[in-house]
Amino acid sequence: MIPDEIKKFIDYFSRLPLFGPRQATRLAFYLLSLDKNEVKNLSSALGNLANLDICERCFFVKVGGQRICGICSDPARNMKNIAIVEKETDLLTFEKMNKWNGHYLILGRLAERGTLGHSERQRLEKLKERIKNELGGTADEIVIALAATAIGDFTADLIREEFKNLSKKITRLGRGLPTGGEVEFADETTLLHSFEKRS
Pairing mode, strands 52-54 and 102-106: unpaired
- CATH topology assigned to domain 54-196: Dna Topoisomerase Vi A Subunit; Chain: A, domain 2 (3.40.1360)
CATH architecture of structural domain 4-52: Orthogonal Bundle (1.10)
The Cα–Cα gap between 136 and 168 comes to: 12
- Domain(s) labelled CATH 3.40.1360.10 in the chain stretch across 54-196
Digit-coded pLDDT (tens) for 83-122: 999 999 999 998 998 889 999 999 998 876 667 888 999 9
pLDDT at residue number 112: 67
- Domain(s) labelled CATH 1.10.8.420 in the chain stretch across 4-52
Virtual torsion, Cα 99, 178, 151, 194, nearest 10 deg: 20
**Per-residue pLDDT for 26 more than 90?**
yes
- In sequence order, the 6+-apart residues with CB closer than 8 A to the CB of 17 are none
Digit-coded pLDDT (tens) for 147-158: 888 888 889 999
Which band of pLDDT confidence, cut at 50, 70 and 90, is reported for residue 175? low
